Amino acid sequence: MNSLKGKRLEGKTAVITGATTGIGFATAELFLAHGAKVIITGQSQERLNSAVEKLRGDNTGYSVHGVLADVRSIEQLSSLAETTRKLFDGHLDILFVNSGVLGKGVPFEDMDEQEFDFTMDTNFKGAFFTVQKLAPLLSSGSTVIFDLSTAHNKPRAPYPVYAASKAAGRSLLRSLAVHFAPRGIRVNAVSPGPVPTDLVKLAEDPAELAKRFAASAGATLLKRAGKLEEIAQTVLFLASDESSYLTGTDIFVDGGLSA
């Protein structure tokens, strides 16, 4: 994973929500390889333990901890903040707000309140309060990164609530970039295009979803799906000092799909 010379996050601390698989896990791997101390979160203790074990591997010098937290729970987010404070001596350099769900692919007319709330509570409300609860640990030079989606700019049926939740996240990052600027804290986002993650695989009927996913990948200018490592590399850039003049920015990593 460490294909670049030098460790770009040496000595920095990072929290990555929803990082037992997918983009979050790939980003945690990269952060650790670049010298960061990392906390990952998940909703299953078994998956957390497995993810931490894989991330450590044979690298005894890696500092990685798993914390059980559902972003829909304010109480659990408060507990995450307190655990982070203790593990990182009260300071957090990088917050990657990665937790999210695709939700069920149903037409607008068939969307029910329960599914609407589940998607919005995870993707938008969860993101909002994740930042709010961990904000006291941020200081000048810290950075917040949202994992959004090109869907907020180029929605595809039948995911109207998913697209709306990501559009709300895009608006939130702009507001927070303004809010945190006086404190020297940067807020940016990465918006992936079609990337094969467990979030996608578990969303609905596998065959139908595979068909839609293939169509999205074929619609990109590069005519392929993205790789987890390609998204993680962009998050690494936003987390590092190399992006020190970027805030309020949403980087589309989508193979040209939005073009």
Which pLDDT value is given to residue 184?
A: 98
Helices 22-33 and 45-56 meet at what angle, rounded to 10? 30
In a domain, 1, yes or no: no
227 contacts: CB under 8 Å, gap ≥ 6: 195
> Domain range spanning residue 167?
13-252
Residue 2 has pLDDT above 70, yes or no: no
Q: Rounded mean pLDDT of 118-142?
A: 98
pLDDT digits (tens, 9 = 90+) for 160-195: 999 999 999 999 999 999 999 999 999 999 999 989
- Alpha-carbon distance of 214 to 204, in angstroms, equals 15
In a domain, 206, yes or no: yes
In a domain, 239, yes or no: yes
Q: Rounded mean pLDDT of 89-102?
A: 96
Write the CATH number for 197.
3.40.50.720
In a domain, 32, yes or no: yes
3-state secondary structure at position 188: strand
In a domain, 6, yes or no: no
Alpha carbon of 78 to those of 49, 72, 133, 187: distances in Å?
21, 11, 6, 21
Which pLDDT value is given to residue 206?
A: 67
179 contacts: CB under 8 Å, gap ≥ 6: none
The catalytic residue among 62, 159, 162, 245 is 162
Residue 17 has pLDDT above 80, yes or no: yes
Residue 80 has pLDDT above 50, yes or no: yes
Which pLDDT value is given to residue 259?
A: 82
Q: Indicate the number of domains in the chain.
A: 1
3-state secondary structure at position 34: coil
Q: Residue 226 corresponds to which amino acid?
A: G
Q: Among this protein's residues, is 159 annotated catalytic?
A: no
DSSP 129-183: HHHHHHGGG--TT-EEEEE--GGGTS--TT-HHHHHHHHHHHHHHHHHHHHHGGG
In a domain, 221, yes or no: yes
Question: Residues of the chain with pLDDT > 90: what percent?
Answer: 78
In a domain, 57, yes or no: yes
Q: Rounded mean pLDDT of 82-90?
A: 98
- Alpha-carbon distance of 164 to 63, in angstroms, equals 36
In a domain, 41, yes or no: yes
Tokens of 117: 């709330």
Count CB neighbours of 46 within 10 A.
9
Q: Is the dihedral of CA 111, 254, 7, 176 positive or negative?
A: negative
Residue 13: name the closest of 194, 138, 115 by CA. 138
